Structure 1
Amino acid sequence: MNETRLFVLAALARRGPMHGHQIRRDARVDRADLWSRVKPGSLYSALHRMEDEGLIRPIRTEQEGALPARTVYEITTEGQRELRALRDEALTEVDIRPDPVDLALAAAADLDRDLLRGYLEDRITALRARTARIDHQLDRQWPDQSPTDDLIADHARIRIQAEIDWHEKVLDNIDKLIPPR
């Protein structure tokens, strides 16, 4: 599932022709990095690949003042088909990826218990910081924020809280994982 491709095609289908800078700005304004693996810096290479594949096409070049010339793209009929396929894939595929922490935990029997505790506490701190970042971003409403955006943010918060709960459970059971020496 290519989230960047889905984001670009959906943006062009929803908002009409745009240049790469507008799409990149939309990714920042929509805070796509909070709820997807879309990285604004990867959008330009994705645009070029999708143009080569006939999913989008350039319709004009614009230049304002001293700014660089910008190519404006629109989605093609083939791009619309790809958008529907990607959206269908994203809505039907349940993708809960294994977390490498599970593998590391399975191989942690020889670790010092306090070291493992420190790793887990650091992970919990990072997860809480991520929740705080989402909350902070949502405290500042953005243009076109919709009930869908709020539900997506809730989904991210709930998933992170589940991770925090699991990490705390591991901490509670650390003596069973690594017996005192």
Structure 2
Amino acid sequence: MARKVRNLLGLAVLATVVERPMHPYEIATVIRERGKDRDMGLKWGSLYTVVRNLHRHGFIEVAENARHGARPERTVYRITDDGRRELRDWVRELIAVPVHEPPRFEAGLSVWAVLGPDEVPALLRERLARLEEENAAQRAALERHREEVPRMFLVEAEYDLALREADAAFTRGLLDELDRGAFPDLQQWRDRHAAMERGTPETSS
């Protein structure tokens, strides 16, 4: 379905204020503390715009305008019944409906022939080293969190780690093929790259 507010930051805001009324600064603090900004790749510059849109569409409403000491007045928002329904429908859609979102690595692989096959293995080794280091750190952090955080709040981190480990496994296998010379059409790749470097059109054999 077409959503009135499609920005994932809107989802994060609704999932935060569903717990209790908050002002935007507090919403941002809670989202960051829980690591949801990393899970969703949020763009913080649009926070107040998203809050205004949620309010305009009736998903949140003003609970109070609070002032503490000399600080500027802050508007506290709470979720509405429509907001609760929107939040639940949105989460159902995200879990049930797969959407292909090409990662940067996929984009790079789609045009990797502009590089020579003798250059690519070094780049894959660099990628693999970074992935293995990051995955080890993420695995250790996940194990620490398991001791104090219920698993229902960790499944997105488990999913992210599984994807990253699959990425590392694929990269490792691709690198092995190139290192052993087992990748098909290596000579054709070299000839194509050499022709591009010379600025001459590729000819069919």
Q: Give the alignment's TM-score, normalised by structure 2.
A: 0.73
Match of 1:3 among 5, 8, 12: 8
Distance 2:106 2:142 in 1: 31
Q: Which residue of 2 aligns with 1:81?
A: 85
Is the CA contact (8 Å cut-off) linking 2:20 and 2:78 kept in structure 1?
A: yes
With 59-68 and 166-175 compared, the bigger mean Cα shift is at 59-68
Q: CA deviation at 1:53?
A: 1.6
Any residues of structure 2 matched to 1:53-132 within 5 Å, and which? 53-132=57-136
Distance 1:82 1:110 in 2: 45
Q: Which residue of 1 aligns with 2:160?
A: 156
Q: Which residue of 2 aligns with 1:179?
A: 186
Is the CA contact (8 Å cut-off) linking 2:7 and 2:50 kept in structure 1?
A: no
Pair 1:36-2:43 in alignment: no
Q: Deviations over 1:114-133 (max 9, x none)?
A: 42123222322343344355
RMSD in angstroms over aligned alpha carbons? 2.7
Q: Deviations over 1:83-104 (max 9, x none)?
A: 1221121121123422343343
Is the CA contact (8 Å cut-off) linking 1:62 and 1:69 kept in structure 2?
A: yes
Distance 1:136 1:42 in 2: 33
Pair 1:26-2:30 in alignment: yes
Pick closer, same or farther for the CA change 1:126–1:3 going to 2, 3 Å. Answer: farther
Distance 1:107 1:39 in 2: 28
Q: Deviations over 1:132-181 (max 9, x none)?
A: 55346547659x83221233222211111001111111111223257366
Q: Matched residue of 1:74: which SS?
A: strand
Match of 1:168 among 169, 172, 177: 172
Q: Give the alignment's TM-score, normalised by structure 1.
A: 0.81
Corresponding letter in the other structure for 1:124: L
Report the structure number with the largest CA radius of gyration: 2
Q: Which has the higher contact order (CA 8 A, sep 6+)?
A: 1
Pick closer, same or farther for the CA change 1:135–1:100 going to 2, 3 Å. Answer: closer
Pick closer, same or farther for the CA change 1:8–1:106 going to 2, 3 Å. Answer: closer
Pick closer, same or farther for the CA change 1:138–1:29 going to 2, 3 Å. Answer: farther
Distance 2:134 2:70 in 1: 38
Q: Matched residue of 1:131: which SS?
A: helix
Alignment size in residue pairs: 179
Q: Matched residue of 1:91: which SS?
A: helix
Q: Matched residue of 1:173: which SS?
A: helix
Distance 2:112 2:48 in 1: 41
